[in-house]
Amino acid sequence: MNAPLPEPPAVRTTCPYCGVGCGLLARPDGYGGAEITGDPDHPANFGRICSKGAALGETLSLTERLLYPMLRQGDGRLGRVDWHVALDRVAAGLERILARHGPDAIAFYLSGQLLTEDYYVANKLMKGFLGSPNVDTNSRLCMASTVAGHRRAFGADTVPGSYEDLDQADLLVLVGSNAAWCHPVLFQRMVENKRVRGAKIVVIDPRRTATAEDADLHLAIAPGMDTALFCGVLAHLADRCALDYRYIDAHTIGFENALAQARMIAPDVAATAKLTRLSRADVARFFDLFRDTPHTVTCFSQGVNQSAQGTDKVNAIINCHLATGRIGRRGQGPFSLTGQPNAMGGREVGGLANQLAAHMTFTPEDVDRVRRFWNAPRMAAREGAKAVAMFDAIARGRIKALWVMATNPAVSLPRANYVREALTQLDLFVVSENVLANDTVNAGAHVLLPAAAWGEKDGTVTNSERRISRQRQFLPLPGEAKPDWWIVTQVARRMGFSSAFAYQSAADIFREHAALSAFENGGRRDFDLSALAAISERAFDQLDPVQWPLRAGETPQMDSRFFMQGDFYTPDRKARFIAVEPPAPKVATSRQFPFRLNTGRVRDQWHTMTRSGQSARLATHRPEPFVDIHPADAKAMKLSDGCFANVTTRFGSCVLKVAITEEQRRGSLFTPIHWSDATASAARINDLVMPETDRYSGQPDAKATPASIAPVEFAFRGFALARRPISAPHGAWWTRVAVAGASGLLLATNDGPEIWQTRARQMLGGELAEYIDRQRGVYRAASFAAGELTGCLFIGAAATAPQWDAVKALFAAETLSEEARGVLLSGRSADGLVSAGPIVCACFSIGLATIRAAIEAGAAATIEGIGEALRAGTNCGSCLPELKRLMADAGIEPAAAASRKGGYTRLEAWLIPLDCRRRRESIAAGKKTLRRSARCGGNGRRMQCSSSTTTSTRSARRRCASRSRRRARKRKSTCSPCAATRTSPPTSSSIRAELCLRWFTTARRSWNPRSSSTISTRFFPIRR
C-alpha cells in the first residue's frame, strides 16, 4: 500500500457518465481513492456537478474488478492466464474465422464509454485491416437517429450549436428529454437562464417528468407523435408569415415538399391537437411561443431518438429551425443532447456500422481516401450490420466472432434474452471489461480481457457541444489491467499489422486521428482537427477543453457554431428539408397487450449500474426496479402503490414494484433500464423491449412496446444485510442495493418464516441470534463473528414489511453499542430516530420523510428554506425539481421560492443587465414584448409570409412583404435596429460570464467537503 502524499495535486479530468461532459477535479488520496469536485474552469459545467458526478469517489473500489486476463477452461470456468496467452488466443481466433468464413463473419461491438483513442484503433483494425464493416456500438441505442437526421438535413453529422445557446435562448423546447435527471447540469443551466433572463421552458413528453416541474408549458403528448407536433409547427409558421424565406432560398432545398407534407399530416391547431391528444389551447400556446420567439433552442434526446420513426422526428424538428433560419445563431438551433460520455467521439472516429472515420461515409471516394490514409490492405467498402441486425446475424450463425468492449449487450439490447442466447452460438467471444462478471460475461465469454476503468485511463472524449476534453489518469492501473487501445494494438500486431499499430501512447493515436480529419478535407467535411495534428505529448497532456472545428492556420473562433451562413456539407452546400412520413406506431396495442411500455433512466443511476451501483448514497434514491402507472390504470388493473406487478410483452416479463403516479400518462407504463440479472431477480427490462428499428438509423424503439400488467402477490417482505458479498436466495424476488459497510438485498417472498430460518444459516453463517413469530409471520436473525455484527435477515408480513434504515445504520458504524445490540432485532434504532425515507437529496442524504416533516412543521416554506433548514438542493441541484414537486404537493406554490417578491435581490440586480431586467419587468407587467417584437420580425430583417394557402415561396413572399408593410404603417413602427435590440437577448458574453460567476459562487458557498462523502477507500491489487 502506498503512503499518502501530503497534498496530492488535483487532476483535471472529465466525468464518465452523461454527454454533458462535465470537467472534474480528482484529488487522489494516495490510497487508491479520490475526492471528486467540479472543475470551475471547464466550460461545460463551470464547477457544477450532479449527484452522480459528486458520488464518483464512492465508485472506485476494486471489489468485483477484473484484474487479470482470463480464458474459459474445459470445465466451463474462467481461469487466469498470462496476457500473451490471451492476446494470442484472440488474434489466432480472428485469423482462423477470417480465413474460413471471410470478414463478414467477424464483428466488434463497442461503447460510448470508450475513449476516442480506443474507438479509433478498434475501428481502424476492423474496417481497414480485417476488412469487415461490422463495427457498431451501444451508441446505436442512444443517438443513431440524430446522426441519420443530421446527415439527411445537413449532409454531415453536425451539431450546429453550443451550450452557450442554452444560456442565450428565450425559449427552450425540450422534446423527449428528461434533462433534469439525464443531463442535470445542463438542465440547471437552462433553469438559471429562466430565472435570470426570463426564458420560457416547454417540455414535450408523455410523462410529467422532473424536467416538467420547471416548465412554463408541459405537453403530455401521445407517444410517438412528436413528428405530428412539429409538422403542425411548420404549417403554422407558414400560415402566420413567420418563415425566413431569405434563408430558405439561399441555403436550403426541398422546402415546398416538406411543407406540403407537413400540411398533409397536421395542417392546423385542431388537427395537431387531435393527433397528439393535447388540448387545442396548449397546442396553440406552443405554436405561438415558437413563432414569436426568434431565440429558440429545441433540445431533444432519447424520447426522440429511441423510436421506430426517430429520424423523422429529428428532421421534423430541424425543418422548423431551417424554415425560420434559427440555426447557427446565438441562442438558436436544434440541439441533440447525447446520452453517453463519448458518443460524440465514437461518431467522430466512425464507431457506427454506417460510418467511416472522421465523419466520412461509405462513398467510393471516402472509402478510397481512408484506405490511402491508413495504407489499409483490406478496406471495408460498404456499411456493416447495425446493432440489432448484428445480433440477429450472430443468432443465425453468420457472424462467428464477436469482440465486445466496455458494454453489456446481454442487458441493454432489445429482446435481451434473445441476445444472450445468441452469444452462446459464437465460435469466438471476446469481452474487454472492468468487472469480473455481468450478464454478457456470464453469457459465456471465451476470453476476458481486463480493461482500464475511469480514473486509470488516459485520452479524450467529446461532449454534446463538440467539445473535446481530456480524461486523465489519476489512479494507477490495478492488477494487470490495460487501456483498451493497448489491447487492440497488441492483437493487431499479432495479426501482422505492427507498423500500422505502432502507437506508444494515446497522444500518438490522437495525432493520427486529427491528421485523418484534415486529410483531403479542404472544407468539405465538418470534422476538422488539423490544428491538433502535430500536437506534442506535452501539449496533449495539458490540452484544455476545445471545441471543433479546429482548422490549421485559423485562430480558434469564439463562435464555433455551424450554418448561420448556410454552407452545409451536401454536394451543393444546401441543407435538405425532409418530407417526413406520417407518424404511426409500428406495432399496435392489443387486448392482450393494451399498454405502451416506455423505458428510461432514473436520476441517480447509470446504464447497468456497474459503476453507479457501487455508491450507497446513489442507491437510496430509487433502490428497487419499479413500474410507473397512472392511478386510473392501476385501479383498472387492481394494483396498489408499493405492491408488485408482472409486466409482460411478447418478448418476456419482469416483476417490478408498482409506483402509482399522476405523472404517468394513461395507457403507458414506464420502467427504468438499469437492473440486470446481477442486480435483481426479474428486472431485465430490455428482455421486454421489441426489436423494431428506425428504417434510416437502425435505432431500436425502446419507448412503445405493447405490454400488459398484472398484480403479483407476495405474502412476506424483508431484507438481508451482510458484511461480505451475499448470495441471492432462490425462489424469492430480490434486488441488490449498495449499502455503506454491507451488501444489501431487498426481498419479497411467499416462503414463510421456517424456510427463512433455514436459509439464514446459509446466507449469513456465523453465530445467529434469532427471533421467530410464526403466527405473525415474522423471522429476524442477526449473525455475529468475534462479537462483531456480520449479517442480518428480517422477514415479515407484507402489510407490515420491516424497514431497514435503522439496521443499515448499524453496518455503517464500526462498533455496535450494547444499547444498539439490545434493540437490533426490533428493527428500531437505539436513538429512536425515525426513517428518513427514500433519499431525495443524494449530496447530503436528505430523505423524503425529513423534507416532508420540515415542510409540514413550517421550517421550510420555500425551496431556499429547505436548503437553509436541511441543505437539500444546495449542492448539485439535481433534486430541485423533486423539491418543487414536494412543495406543490404540500400546497405551496414553488414560485414562492423566489423571495424577491416581484423585485430583485441585490445580487440579481447586479447580475442581470439592465435591458434584461426591463424586459423581465415588462413581461411581468403583461406587456408581451416578445410577442410584439416577433410580429415585427424580431431581427428587423426577416421576410414574412402570410397565407395558409401558400403554394409557392415567391407569391408567399410578396404577400408577406405587403402585409408586413401594412402592419408596420399601422403600428407606426418599423423593424428598426432599436426594436431588434430591445427584443434580442442581452449580449451573450456578458450573460455567460455572469452566469458562470453565479454558479461558481453558489457551488463554492455550498460545498462542504467534510459533509459530502466523496472520499472513498480503494485497496490495491489482491495478489494471488
Taking the complex as a whole, the smallest distance from the CB of residue 204 to ligand SF4 amounts, in Å, to 21
Taking the complex as a whole, the smallest distance from the CB of residue 19 to ligand SF4 amounts, in Å, to 7
Amino acid making up residue 153? A
Taking the complex as a whole, the smallest distance from the CB of residue 57 to ligand SF4 amounts, in Å, to 12
If the CB atoms of residues 46 and 626 are measured against ligand SF4, the closer one turns out to be: 46
- To the nearest 10 degrees (0 to 180), the angle between helices 880-889 and 848-856 is 50
If the CB atoms of residues 164 and 244 are measured against ligand SF4, the closer one turns out to be: 164
Helix (H, G, I), strand (E, B) or coil at 291: helix
If the CB atoms of residues 472 and 808 are measured against ligand SF4, the closer one turns out to be: 472
Torsion sign, CA atoms 926, 927, 928, 930: negative
Taking the complex as a whole, the smallest distance from the CB of residue 61 to ligand SF4 amounts, in Å, to 19
Which of 933, 918, 928 lies closest to 984, judged by CA?
Answer: 933
Taking the complex as a whole, the smallest distance from the CB of residue 999 to ligand SF4 amounts, in Å, to 13
If the CB atoms of residues 470 and 920 are measured against ligand SF4, the closer one turns out to be: 470
Could you tell me how many helices (H) and strands (E) the chain has, helices first? Answer: 36, 34
Does residue 334 contact residue 321 with C-beta atoms inside 8 Å? yes
Alpha-carbon distance 1024 to 1021, whole Å? 9
Taking the complex as a whole, the smallest distance from the CB of residue 142 to ligand SF4 amounts, in Å, to 14
Which residues are paired to 925 by β-bridges? none
If the CB atoms of residues 892 and 1003 are measured against ligand SF4, the closer one turns out to be: 1003
Residue nearest to ligand SF4 (CB): 53
Cell numbers for 113? 464509454
Q: Which residues bind ligand SF4 (CB under 6 A)?
A: 15, 17-18, 20-22, 45, 49-50, 52-53, 183-185
660 CB-side CA count, 13 A: 16
Cell numbers for 654? 419482469
Alpha-carbon distance 790 to 559, whole Å? 59
Alpha-carbon distance 352 to 383, whole Å? 9
Taking the complex as a whole, the smallest distance from the CB of residue 38 to ligand SF4 amounts, in Å, to 7
Taking the complex as a whole, the smallest distance from the CB of residue 113 to ligand SF4 amounts, in Å, to 12
Taking the complex as a whole, the smallest distance from the CB of residue 760 to ligand SF4 amounts, in Å, to 39
Cβ neighbour number for residue 918 with a 10 Å cutoff:
13
Taking the complex as a whole, the smallest distance from the CB of residue 16 to ligand SF4 amounts, in Å, to 7
Cell numbers for 8? 496530492
If the CB atoms of residues 27 and 630 are measured against ligand SF4, the closer one turns out to be: 27
DSSP state letters, 960-1004: HHHHHHHHHHHHT----HHHHHHHSPPPHHHHHHHHHHHHHHHHH
If the CB atoms of residues 263 and 607 are measured against ligand SF4, the closer one turns out to be: 607
Alpha-carbon distance 438 to 138, whole Å? 16
DSSP state letters, 521-546: -TTSSS---GGGTT--HHHHHTPPPE
Residue 662 carries which DSSP code? T
9, containing H or E segment: none
If the CB atoms of residues 187 and 577 are measured against ligand SF4, the closer one turns out to be: 187
If the CB atoms of residues 18 and 682 are measured against ligand SF4, the closer one turns out to be: 18
If the CB atoms of residues 147 and 461 are measured against ligand SF4, the closer one turns out to be: 461
Does residue 390 contact residue 136 with C-beta atoms inside 8 Å? yes
Residue 83 has phi, psi (to 5 degrees) of -55, -40
For 88, 765, 852, 859, 874, the CA distances from 870, given in Å and listed in that order, are 58, 40, 11, 9, 9
If the CB atoms of residues 457 and 596 are measured against ligand SF4, the closer one turns out to be: 457
Which residues are paired to 626 by β-bridges? 657
If the CB atoms of residues 51 and 984 are measured against ligand SF4, the closer one turns out to be: 51
Which of 501, 200, 179, 447 lies closest to 331, judged by CA?
Answer: 200
736, containing H or E segment: strand 733-739
DSSP state letters, 867-911: HHHH-TTSSS-TTHHHHHHHHHHTT--GGGG-TTTTS--HHHHHH
Taking the complex as a whole, the smallest distance from the CB of residue 115 to ligand SF4 amounts, in Å, to 15
Taking the complex as a whole, the smallest distance from the CB of residue 51 to ligand SF4 amounts, in Å, to 7
Residues whose CB falls within 8 Å of the CB of residue 781, separated by 6 or more in sequence, listed in order: 757, 760, 764, 768, 769, 770, 771, 792, 793, 794, 825
If the CB atoms of residues 313 and 603 are measured against ligand SF4, the closer one turns out to be: 603
Cβ neighbour number for residue 710 with a 10 Å cutoff:
12
Torsion sign, CA atoms 167, 170, 175, 181: positive
- Angle, CA of 451, 454 and 457, to the nearest 5°: 65
Q: Which residue has the cell 464507431?
A: 351
Residues whose CB falls within 8 Å of the CB of residue 347, separated by 6 or more in sequence, listed in order: 139, 147, 157, 355, 359
Taking the complex as a whole, the smallest distance from the CB of residue 850 to ligand SF4 amounts, in Å, to 24
Taking the complex as a whole, the smallest distance from the CB of residue 37 to ligand SF4 amounts, in Å, to 11
If the CB atoms of residues 21 and 351 are measured against ligand SF4, the closer one turns out to be: 21
If the CB atoms of residues 392 and 604 are measured against ligand SF4, the closer one turns out to be: 604
My answer on whether omega of the bond before 583 falls inside 30° of 0, hence cis, is no
If the CB atoms of residues 113 and 530 are measured against ligand SF4, the closer one turns out to be: 113
Residues making up the chain, counted from first to last: 1024
If the CB atoms of residues 22 and 212 are measured against ligand SF4, the closer one turns out to be: 22
If the CB atoms of residues 166 and 185 are measured against ligand SF4, the closer one turns out to be: 185
Taking the complex as a whole, the smallest distance from the CB of residue 847 to ligand SF4 amounts, in Å, to 21
